Amino acid sequence: MKVTICIGSACHLKGSREIIAQLQNLVKERHLEKQVDLNGSFCSGNCVNGVCVTIDEKLYSLKPEDTKEFFETEILGRL
Amino acid sequence: MGVTVDVAYKSLNKFTEVLCGDKVELLQTEDSNIMILADGMGSGVKANILATLTSKILGTMFLNGATLEECVETIVETLPVCQVRQVAYSTFSILQVFNNGDAYLVEFDNPGCIFVRNGELVPIPQNIREIQNKKINEYRFKVKKGDALILMSDGTIHAGVGQLLNFGWLWDDIADYAVRQYRVTISAARLAAAISRACDELYQFRPGDDTTVAVMRIIDRKPVHLMTGPAQDAKDDRGMVDDFMSGDYTTKRIVCGGTSANIVSRILEKPLKVTLDYYDPDIPPIAYIDSIELVTEGVLTLNRVLKLLKRYVKNEAVTEEFFLELDKPNGASMVAKMIIEDCTELQLYVGRAINSAYQNPGLPFDLGIRQNLVEQLKHTVEEMGKKVSITYF
């Protein structure tokens, strides 16, 4: 599964770094490195909402505090 | 063959003084680069005014093609006379290097220029001319790629006098140190910083005199193209990228901006690979596009770049720590380092498109300041003695 997090200017200010750090930890904790491929991207063109995160082309808008829930429902839920 | 120069200087103020009594002017004519170092008598405000007047007069007159005699005459007649010493006095050195390799050195009462070629010290012959009762040394020669020329104020040779060293740091010893540093440093900035740092240490960080080291290294042209922001009209994307990609194998290219990077990647049909490695919490990670030297996020990175360059130009705190900061692997340090150390002319390709999402007052930083940053960047890099041009799209 390919998960892409936008690190463009606007997303950076809305907390991409924190989301990336949390996701990296969660993936590591559950030893999912082989299944979940975390990537960066520049501006996904949806700067108005939260941080842009895409899973296999599907776009989500995330806040740092929602990362864990997102991981459990969207990422674990799809594995 | 045309030669280009890399110029940089570093001044230390006399301990407790707010103003420096030495002044360096970096100028460019159509076919030459000029570096002037003036050292005003005394210290503080008075010395600063004398040195500033001297370097500005010399610079302005030289630019307009005045002869050395005319320049010296004007200085003698213009400088205010010191109440205490009843003389008007500022020493100076002028170094002019033409694009065809001709060089012209003029020295009046400063410590002699240190000339390094192929890692060896080259003696500068005495050829003294008297103008207005001032003994002025003139030297015409040819420079070659790799040469380094160092102008200094006498604060350098007085470093440590009566404290760590009986007679200060002797010229021969400074020259010896400069030759060694020449071999281990690449840029003018690092060579100037190394010598000035040594002076500061000999003064035990309390300089007894204003101390300035100005370095010119003869190098190949190093053009840098920097693209930032998408074009106002998306139809111009291709033209913008074509211009940005122009140049030859010596041209280095930087893209600052997420959308810009996507555009370059699309038009060049080369994939954009974005990393997730944060080396600095405030600067987004860098990315890679094949054949582009450096790809970074836009406004946040440029804002930091500008801060670093301003710090460098203001000559404050350009110490080892500054270079350590410059060597960090975050996008902003990498861009600043390339502009300071690996660039003789900067060509900016700037898109005027406005991202409506940036108008969001909920963001903690005004992202809509690209053009303002670019203008400031231009002025700052020009102050570093480099050519800058901007093309808007």
Of B262, B285, B357, the CB nearest to A48: B357
Which structural domain range is residue A56 located in?
A: 2-78
Same domain for B170 and B53? yes
- pLDDT (average), residues B104-132: 93
CA pair distance A37, A76, nearest whole angstrom: 13
Which residues in A lie closer than 8 A to residue B279 (C-beta atoms)?
A: none
Same domain for B196 and B229? no
Same domain for B258 and B194? no
pLDDT tens, position by position, B306-349: 999 999 988 656 677 888 999 999 999 999 999 999 998 999 99
Q: Read off the CATH number of the domain in which A12 is found.
A: 3.40.30.10
- pLDDT (average), residues B191-220: 94
Same domain for B239 and B359? yes
The reply to whether residue A7 touches residue B274, judged by beta carbons under 8 angstroms, is yes
**End-of-domain residue from the set B179, B202, B219:** B219
Same domain for B213 and B233? no
- Alpha-carbon distance A69 to nearest alpha carbon in chain B (angstroms): 21
Same domain for B380 and B242? yes
Same domain for B209 and B303? no
The reply to whether residue B360 touches residue A48, judged by beta carbons under 8 angstroms, is yes
3-class secondary structure, B294: strand
Q: Which of A 34-73 lie inside 8 A of B, CB atoms?
A: 38-43, 47-48
- Alpha-carbon distance A35 to nearest alpha carbon in chain B (angstroms): 18
The reply to whether residue B287 touches residue A24, judged by beta carbons under 8 angstroms, is no
Which residues in B lie closer than 8 A to residue A19 (C-beta atoms)?
A: none
- Alpha-carbon distance A19 to nearest alpha carbon in chain B (angstroms): 11
The reply to whether residue B276 touches residue A39, judged by beta carbons under 8 angstroms, is yes
Q: What is the pTM of this model?
A: 0.79
CB atoms within 10 A of CB B167: 10
Q: Read off the CATH number of the domain in which B189 is found.
A: 3.60.40.10
**For chain B, how many structural domains are there in total?**
2
- ipTM given for this complex: 0.82
**pLDDT bracket for residue B81 (50, 70, 90):** confident
**End-of-domain residue from the set B172, B188, B219:** B219
The reply to whether residue A9 touches residue B360, judged by beta carbons under 8 angstroms, is no
CA pair distance B383, B92, nearest whole angstrom: 20
> Per-residue pLDDT for B305 more than 90?
yes
Closest CA to B114 of B30, B65, B178, B67: B178
Query: What is the per-residue pLDDT for B366?
Result: 72
Which structural domain range is residue B158 located in?
A: 4-219
CA pair distance B219, B187, nearest whole angstrom: 9
The reply to whether residue A7 touches residue B272, judged by beta carbons under 8 angstroms, is no
Same domain for B215 and B294? no
Same domain for B183 and B197? yes
Of B272, B276, B365, the CB nearest to A42: B272
Same domain for B326 and B246? yes
The mean pLDDT value of chain A amounts to: 89
pLDDT tens, position by position, B17-29: 999 999 999 988 8
Label residue B132 left, alpha or beta by phi (over 0 means left) and psi (-120 to 50 means alpha): left
The reply to whether residue A13 touches residue B363, judged by beta carbons under 8 angstroms, is yes
> Per-residue pLDDT for B360 more than 70?
no
Same domain for B172 and B256? no
pLDDT tens, position by position, B51-65: 999 999 999 998 888
Same domain for B38 and B67? yes
**pLDDT bracket for residue B213 (50, 70, 90):** very high
Torsion from C-alpha of B368, B374, B375, B378, nearest 10 degrees: 170
Q: Angle at Cα B250 formed by Cα B178 and Cα B191, nearest 5°?
A: 15
Closest CA to B209 of B79, B40, B355, B73: B40
Strand B22-28 and strand B32-40: the pairing is: antiparallel
Query: What is the per-residue pLDDT for B77?
Result: 81
Chain B: residues touching A (Cβ < 8 Å): 257-259, 261-262, 272, 274-276, 278, 281, 284-285, 287, 297-300, 355-358, 360, 363-365, 367
**For chain A, how many structural domains are there in total?**
1
In the numeric block, the tokens 């600043």 are attached to B336
Longest CA–CA separation in chain A, Å: 33
**End-of-domain residue from the set B219, B244, B259:** B219
Question: How many beta-carbon pairs below 8 A join chains A and B?
Answer: 73
Element (H, E) at B354: none
